[in-house]
Amino acid sequence: MALMNRTFQEYLDRFVIVFIDDILVYSKNREEHEQHLRIVLQILKEKELYAKLSKCEFWVNQVVFLGHVISGDGVMPDPSKVKAVMEWRIRKMRLKLEVS
């Protein structure tokens, strides 16, 4: 994690978010995004770091990152995570009722 933070220090919270080995690049428009991607990919190349292509998503308007759905509309909890929590609460309530 420290390596990735040092590697992208100059760009963190400007257009890059790093969590362990996940990199999120965000931009206001396509032209800016192309520049940001070039910078990030160039840094990876210079530092001899590699991205697994099968795990990469390019040019998407919405992405799931760290349990949240991030888009131009903002950040929302991932509905699948919310559903899992709600189902867990329902099961827990049923168990309490059955035990009582």
Please write the tens of the pLDDT for every residue from 59-74.
999 999 988 999 888 8
Which domain, by its residues, includes 72?
A: 62-100
E strand segments, the chain: 16-19, 22-25, 62-65, 68-71, 74-77
Do 82 and 93 share a structural domain? yes
- The span from the CA of 17 to the CA of 4, in Å, is 10
Q: What is the pLDDT of residue 86?
A: 73
pTM: 0.73
- The span from the CA of 32 to the CA of 92, in Å, is 47
Token match 């390019």: residue? 58
pLDDT above 90: residue 40 = yes
Do 34 and 4 share a structural domain? yes
Do 67 and 46 share a structural domain? no
